[in-house]
Amino acid sequence: MPSLKDLKNRISSVQSTRKITSAMKMVAASKLRRAQEQAEAGRPYAERMGRMLASLAANVQDSGNGPKLMTGTGADQVHLLIIISSDRGLCGAFNGSIVRESRRQILRLQSEGKTVKLLTVGRKARDQLRREFGSLIVETYEDVGRRKLSFADADMVAQKVLSLFDAGEFDVCSVIFNKFKSAISQIVTVQQLIPFAVEAQAEEVASDELKPVYEFEPDEEQILAELLPRNLSIQVYRALLESAASEQGARMTAMDNATRNAGDMINKLTITYNRTRQAYITKELIEIISGAEAV
Amino acid sequence: MADKVEFELVSPEKLLTSQPVDMVVVPGSEGDFGVLAGHSPMISTVRPGVIDVYEGDRIVDRVFVAGGFAEVTETRCTVLAEEAVPVAEIDRAKVEQAIRDLGEDLEDAKADDERARVEAKLAIARAKLDAAGASVTAH
C-alpha cells in the first residue's frame, strides 16, 4: 500500500504533465491552422504549373525528345528516396509510419537488385534509419522550416536533388511523406518525382474545357527545360507543406489523447488517495479506542 | 474598351493578385509583351523585370518579378513568379547592399556552376535596382 505522501506526489506530477500536454495540444492546433492555410495558399501555383506543364508535355511528347527530367535516363537502376519526417517527437505514429514505409520500400527495391540512396529531411527519419541503412544516406537536412516553411527551403532540397541527377547519381527519384487528410488521419504517400509522370495530368486537362493551342516563346523545349526543375521544387515544397500540416495534426491528436489519459489517471489516483486516507483515519480511531478500552 | 483580361499573379507561397484589368505588360524573355483581352494563347518565360498593370491608359500597379512563367489565354493572363515585390516597396539601400555582397561572392566563387548561380542572382538584383530607379524618376 503506497503512503499518502507518495500518492499526493504522484497526483501532482500527473497534473503537471496534463498541463503540459494540453498546452502542447493548443500550440499544435494553432500551428496546424497556419500550416493548413499555407498549404492552401500554395495550391494555385501548383495547379497552374501543372496545367502549363501538361499542355507543354503534350506538345513535346509528340516530337519524342523531351528533356531527361521528364523522360528519365532510360534506366531504373539507382533509386533516390527523399524521406520527409519531423525534427521533434511526441507526435504519435507520424514518424513511425514514415520510417516503416521507407524500410518497406528500401527492402523491396533492394530485393529487386536495385541500388537505393536516401535523402532525409528531419531528424527523426535520419536517427531511425541510420542504424540499418546508414551507408545509403547521401544527404540529410535538419531544422527545415523550423519557424516557418518557406519556398527557399524546398528549393534548397530540390537543387541538391538536381545536382545529384545531373551528376548521374540516380535514375529514379521518389518522395515519401505524410499526406494530410485530416487532423486525425495522415496517409503515407510515395510519389515519383523523376522522371516526372505527366500522363495522368495531361489527360485531366484534355478532358476539361477545350484545350487551347498555345504559342511558345521561346520554343517548347527551352521552356520545359526551365519549367521542370521549377516543378521539382514545387513538388518538394508541396510534400514539405503536407508533411508539416500532418505533423501538427498528428501531434494535436496525440496530445489530446495524452491529456485525456492524464485526466483518467488523476481520477483513479484521487479515488485511491481518498480511500487510503479513510483507511488511515479508521485505523487511528481503532487504535485510540482499543487503547482507551485497555486502560 | 469593354473587355477585360483576368490578371493573376501567383508566387509559390500564395496567390498575390487576381483581378480583371484592361491590359498588362509582361517582361517576356524575348521582349516585353502587352496582353489585352482576346490575346492568342501563349506560354512564355519571364525575365526579371517589372509587370505594368493598366486601367485605361494609366498604370495602376507596378510589380517587380524575379523571373518565372506567363500563360496567356484569350480571357486570362497568369504569371507564375518566383519572387514578386510591388515596385513601391523595393528598398534601394537593401538591394544595393545585396549587389555589393553578390559581387564579392562572385569573386570568391570558383566552380563554374556556382559562378553561374551567383551571376543569375546578381542579374536579378540589378534588374530590381533598375525597377526601383525607374519608379523614382517616374513619380
What is the pLDDT confidence band of residue B37, given thresholds at 50, 70 and 90?
confident
From A239, A247, A246, select the one nearest A193 (Cα to Cα).
A239
Active site residues of A: 91
What is the pLDDT confidence band of residue A105, given thresholds at 50, 70 and 90?
very high
ipTM of the complex: 0.76
* pLDDT attached to residue B2: 54
Q: How far apart are the first and last CA of chain A?
A: 31
The 3-state secondary structure of A105-130 reads HHHHHHHCCCEEEEEEECHHHHHHHH
With contacts defined as CB-CB under 8 Å, which chain B residues touch A163? 113
CB distance from A227 to chain B under 8 Å?
Answer: yes
pLDDT at A62 over 80: no
The CA distance from A291 to A293, in Å, is: 5
Report the percent of chain A where pLDDT is more than 90.
Answer: 42
pLDDT at B97 over 50: yes
- Find the mean pLDDT for residues B84-108: 84
- Cβ-based neighbours of A201, under 8 Å, separated by 6 or more: A50, A53, A54
Q: How far is CA A45 from CA A40, A60, A139, B8, B57, in A?
A: 10, 22, 28, 10, 30
Cα of A48 vs its chain's centroid, Å: 25
pLDDT at A248 over 80: yes
- Find the mean pLDDT for residues A265-287: 95
B-contacting residues in A 188-217 (Cβ below 8 Å): 212-217
CATH architecture of A4-24+254-287: Orthogonal Bundle (1.10)
CATH entry 3.40.50.12500 includes domain B5-87: no
Where do the domains of chain B lie? 5-87, 90-138
DSSP H or E segment with residue A272: helix A220-294
Strands A172-182 and A115-121, bridge-based pairing: unpaired
Cell readout for A78 is 539507382
Ranges of CATH 3.40.1380.10 domains, chain A: 32-252
Taking only the tens place, the pLDDT of each residue in B62-79 is 888 888 889 888 888 999
The CA distance from A30 to A27, in Å, is: 5
Taking the CA atoms of A31, A32, A33 and A35 in sequence, report the sign of the dihedral they define: positive
* pLDDT attached to residue B139: 45
With contacts defined as CB-CB under 8 Å, which chain B residues touch A35? none
Strands (E), chain B: 5-10, 15-21, 23-28, 31-35, 42-55, 58-72, 76-81, 84-86
* pLDDT attached to residue A178: 92
Q: Work out the burial of residue A292: count CB atoms within 10 Å of its CB; fewer than 13 is exposed, 13-18 middle, 19 or more buried.
A: exposed
The answer to which of A155-169, A184-198, B28-42 has the lowest mean pLDDT is A184-198
Strands in A115-121's sheet, in edge-to-edge order, are: A137-141, A115-121, A78-84, A172-182, A185-194
The CA distance from A229 to A159, in Å, is: 8
Backbone angles phi and psi of B49, in degrees to 5: 175, -165
Report DSSP letters for A123-149, one per residue: HHHHHHHHHHHGGGEEEEE-STTSSS-
How many residues does the structure list for chain A?
A: 295
Taking only the tens place, the pLDDT of each residue in A210-232 is 456 778 877 777 888 888 888 88
With contacts defined as CB-CB under 8 Å, which chain A residues touch B30? 217-218
CB distance from A90 to chain B under 8 Å?
Answer: no
Taking only the tens place, the pLDDT of each residue in A25-51 is 999 999 999 998 988 888 888 888 888
| Buried/exposed code over A123-159 (b: 16+ C-beta within 10 A; e: otherwise) | bbbbebbeeebeebbeebbeebbeeebbbebbbebbe
Longest dimension (CA), chain A: 113
CATH topology for A32-252 is Pyruvate Kinase; Chain: A, domain 1 (3.40.1380)
